Amino acid sequence: MHLYHPLCRYSCANPEHRLTLQADHSPPTAVQKIAAPRCVIVIDDALPPGRACNAAAVIALTIGERHPYLVGAPLIDAQDVHHPGLIPVGISVLKASVAQLSKLRADALEKEFDIVGFPVQGQQTKDYTAFRDAVRAVDTHELAYVGVGIVGENKAVRKLVSDFELMQ
């Protein structure tokens, strides 16, 4: 039996990684809070600016859903109007080649960081069902990514991405 595992990001047969699905059979979404978190998004450096922004936004939205504790307290302006809180630890957006993204994802999984991968198929259609079907047709180790989000302990994540440059 294969069950969703938050560290593997796919249906997993490893008995150590088995989780109980929620009552509606959806995979669990929130993950364990990290004491000193670091959040980075690494994007394919060959993407045009619009697609790069799209990839970063999609990944950031999923990170926020998976790690709600990363969202800061509401901002309150001088007129006492409340604005949604933003991430107080920041999110570095870095760049890498497609090959580097696949290796980075594998390395981050090995270190048990939380990973949000955005497969290339996601920018080939606007139909989420078609996107899911396209991903299902590719072996896990053959997937290519337009971006990878990583959340983990601050120093360990910094070390993992230290060779990547900021996206300009």
Residues paired with 150 in a beta bridge: 40, 115
Q: Pick the residue with more confidence: 152 or 17? A: 152
Q: Please determine, for residue 48, whether its predicted confidence score (pLDDT) is greater than 50.
A: yes
**Residues constituting the chain:** 168
Lookup result for tokens 């394919």: 44
Fold of 31-166: Bit1 (3.40.1490)
Cα 52 to Cα 42: distance, rounded to the nearest angstrom: 10
Q: What pLDDT score does 34 carry? A: 75
- Parts of the chain belonging to CATH 3.40.1490.10: 31-166
Q: Are 14 and 5 in contact (CB under 8 A)?
A: yes
Q: Which of 92, 94, 97, 91 is nearest to 44 (CA)?
A: 97
Q: What pLDDT score does 108 carry? A: 96
Name the helix (H) or strand (E) containing 142.
none
Percent of the chain at pLDDT exceeding 70: 81
Supply φ then ψ for residue 160, to 5 degrees. -65, -35
Q: Please determine, for residue 103, whether its predicted confidence score (pLDDT) is greater than 90.
A: yes
Q: Which of 70, 64, 67, 51 is nearest to 118 (CA)?
A: 51
